[in-house]
Amino acid sequence: MYNGWKRRGRRNHNGSDHGTTVSCEHLIDLRGVTKVYESAAGSFTALKEIDLRVDRGEFVAVVGKSGSGKSTLINMITGIDRPTEGEVWVEETAVHTLNEDGMAVWRGRNVGVVFQFFQLLPMLTVIENVMLPMDFCGLGAMRERKERALYLLELVDLADQAFKLPSTLSGGQQQRAAIARALANDPAIIAADEPTGNLDSKTADDVFTLFEELVDQDKTILMVTHDRELAGRVTRTVTLADGLIAGQVHHETNAHEPIATVAELAGEVARA
């Protein structure tokens, strides 16, 4: 089994003999992020000076009513969209400053994106879909890419579907294939926008469990979800309302900086 493109020196600057290292305290650091959409109907502010820091190994659920800015927030972190004002830092990369090409390469290496409707390419087999990000980033030789894709498909329990077309798979299987694709380049961050939104509850639970396993393996996950039961199983819940962070709950006992209590959050959810 081929389990990965191992990264160099990402986790620690241990006893550095490299002099001063620019090290960011947080894996993800959003500073005053505002997003204004301009359209024929006028301008609309979808995010209002958002400050959000996420550390490595966190599993963050982003919740809130439809239209509250959840997808916009995720798109800031993946670089799918850009802030109108403010800064998006991922480790030492100023994501908001990257040009289109730089963004695509950076995302390919650093963020695995999972969507509600899977977005597998229908003309490619499952394994070809999983190999695509490796092809794009030019990682490894062809044979290694294939071995790694098979390894990832085994990880998501889909090895037996590798050479089928996505349309022959169930929704849950397609989402697991999409997660394998998101893991292809061993990114530090997985960003998932309602990944269980199109799945039945049992399948949603399976996909969620897979995310939990990835967090155990040191991935950092941001997941938009409407599922309150799943949102209760993460390490932190961030509630958005009208483009603002309305509350945050840390679910770990050693949590820091809680700015809303569980009762307050329950109130938010109840009002939503």
Q: By CB under 6 A, name the binding residues for ligand ADP.
A: 37, 39, 44, 46, 64, 66-72
Q: Which is nearer to ligand ADP, 64 or 187 (CB)?
A: 64
Complete DSSP assignment for 21-58: ----SSSEEEEEEEEEEEETTEEEEEEEEEEEEE-TT-
When binding is defined by CB under 5 A, the residue of 71, 110, 220, 248 that contacts Mg ion is: 71
Pick what 108 binds: ligand ADP, Mg ion, none; C-beta below 5 to 8 Å, kind-dependent. Answer: none
Stretch that binds Mg ion, among 8-16, 70-78, 212-220, 238-246 (CB under 5 A): 70-78
At its nearest, how many Å lie between ligand ADP and the CB of residue 187? 22
Q: Which is nearer to Mg ion, 62 or 132 (CB)?
A: 62
At its nearest, how many Å lie between ligand ADP and the CB of residue 36? 9
At its nearest, how many Å lie between Mg ion and the CB of residue 70? 5
The residues, ordered by sequence, that sit 6+ positions from 139 with a Cβ below 8 Å of its Cβ are 5, 145, 185
Structure tokens at 191: 């960003």
- Phi and psi at 134, nearest 5°, equal -70, -40
At its nearest, how many Å lie between Mg ion and the CB of residue 29? 22
Q: Which is nearer to ligand ADP, 128 or 227 (CB)?
A: 227
Q: Does 225 bind Mg ion (CB under 5 A)?
A: no
At its nearest, how many Å lie between ligand ADP and the CB of residue 244? 12
Pick what 66 binds: Mg ion, ligand ADP, none; C-beta below 5 to 8 Å, kind-dependent. Answer: ligand ADP
Q: Which is nearer to ligand ADP, 20 or 43 (CB)?
A: 43
Stretch that binds Mg ion, among 63-71, 112-120, 148-156, 261-269 (CB under 5 A): 63-71
Residue ranges in contact with Mg ion by CB under 5 A: 70-71
